[in-house]
A and B are shown apart, each in its own frame.
Chain A
Amino acid sequence: MGKIIFVCLFVLTKLISSEIDVSNSTILQNKCLSCHKSGQIPDELIYRRYLMVYSTQERMENAIFVYMKNPNKKNSVMHHPFFFKFPMKKKSNLDDETLRKMINAYLVKFDIKSKFIEMDK
């Protein structure tokens, strides 16, 4: 009986978390990436740039958060010529919690760990 309850709880938790992931991904798509797409802003290039400068997920999240709260060249990791081609983003009007969720969803979407494959020796 205990086992059945445990399995049910586990499946439920998984479902909820995947549901949350899916909903976060959808919100990200609607609230962020749709504008990027229309403006032809290279999402993955920006991710790689942050990755190259900050290395860890946590530091990248903080850096992007700071930039989103106060977007300017100083807070951005992109080269200055980048802003000749692409406009500077407007300050985010999302609350902190939602913003952090969106940043996380962004980092998960382009996470390189999930892209790695190992070549046979």
Chain B
Amino acid sequence: MLKSEKKSLIRFLLIYLLSTFFLFALAGIMFYNYEREHILDKQKDRLGHQAQNIKTQIRTLHNTFGETLVYPSSELLDSAIYDSDKNYIMGTYKQLKVLDEGKLETSGNRLFHISKVEPYYLGAAYLLVTKEIDQTLLWELQKSIYLFMLIAGVFFLILGIFLGRLFIAPMKSSMEKMNRFIEDTTHELNTPIGTILANIEILESSDKYGTSDELNRIEIASKTLSRIYDDLTYLTFNHKYNKSIEHLNVSVVLKERVAYFSSMAAIKQLTFDVNIEENIYLDIDNNDLLRVIDNLISNAIKYNEVAGKIEVCLTNISLLVRDTGIGISKKDIEVISQRFKRANDSEGGFGLGLDIINEIVMYYDYVLEINSTLKVGTTMEIRWER
């Protein structure tokens, strides 16, 4: 599976699972509240029956004459009786000295049941019966809901993966087709470009065509084509080949590439101002180094004014390429930076070059800095030492 496919699938799954979880959580909460009320109603009904029993005992007590009156009590519940002014008379529940019906029903983890006593046996006009809510059933309910959510979560995860793959399938197929086409085309381009460049070298060495402008132009066009081919190959096959990190002399490679691009620069009457420190070494893949240097220089040539200047400067800290060209507006630099931050969303307009440079800079943990002023020029600097 390609990186982009994986990313899309994960995003889809995240949205899908989060929204499903949110809906299920909402439904779970509503169901829990409904069932909780149901359980509490049942317990309240039971409390009502128990209140009737206590009333009967109070009535019996009312008709008992003796030195003492034993108030009915139970392990299961507490009760209290109040007179018609709602003042406490007696009970096993002693926390309410004045009855306030409005605040009761359920309070904390207790259930309350208030009923009127008529006639007022023992002077009691109200009977309050209370007991702790039986949490066992509520815990059972919570457990069932969590279990259901877990099972539903696993089910919807599997369903999500299946659906995600199903939705991605057409995109995957088109991408595979496109990749195959690019791979085939790139492969097919290799031979003719190689042949052209080889024959140009032969012609250049002959006396007849050695210095002709036409041959020079063909050479430049072929080199451009060759560079585009290299970029395309890099982007297409990059994920397939293993980098071979070597201790490379960047100074030597850079000088070679400046020489390589000199004919291209000459067409625009550009002059190179080369300042390369000797024996600068980096641990880098050869192809990566070539792609960075080629793209920096070719961009400097492409976007330069006729008879402009290209400054190439290599130190043990950085590689700098400065041109005197059209420049990039601040807004465009921001767009480029944003694009890089978003790890290369495929937006057009800036060519393959910058994408490749950025990809390599990120891979080696270098820093790319772009400074540009419109109609003055652009400076691109890659720093390997922070």
Contact = CB atoms under 8 A, between A and B. Distances in A.
A59 interface: yes
A78 B22 CA distance: 68
* Contact size range, B: 20 to 34
B90 A59 contact: no
A121 interface: yes
B83 A56 contact: yes
A37 interface: no
B84 A55 contact: yes
A45 B122 CA distance: 12
Interface stretch (B68-76, B201-209, B294-302): B68-76
A63 interface: no
A116 B58 CA distance: 12
Given A51-B122, A56-B85, A117 B74 contact: no
Contacts of A45: 65
Given A51-B120, A51-B122, A55-B84, A116 B90 contact: yes
Given A119-B71, A121-B73, A112 B65 contact: no
B19 to A, nearest CB: 53
A103 B85 CA distance: 20
Contacts of B124: 55
A117 B70 contact: yes
A65 interface: no
A54 B122 CA distance: 10
Contacts of A56: 83-85, 87, 123
Please tell me the size bucket of the interface on A. 20 to 34
Interface string B76-104: 00000001110101101000000000000
Q: Top 9 A-B pairs ranked by shortest CB distance? A: A55-B84, A55-B120, A51-B123, A55-B83, A115-B69, A116-B90, A56-B83, A55-B123, A52-B119
Interface of B: 62-63, 65-75, 83-85, 87, 89-90, 92, 119-125
28 contacts: A44-B65, A48-B63, A48-B65, A51-B120, A52-B120, A55-B120, A55-B123, A56-B84, A56-B85, A56-B87, A59-B84, A113-B89, A113-B90, A115-B69, A116-B70, A117-B68, A117-B69, A117-B71, A118-B70, A118-B73, A118-B92, A119-B70, A119-B71, A119-B73, A120-B73, A121-B73, A121-B74, A121-B92
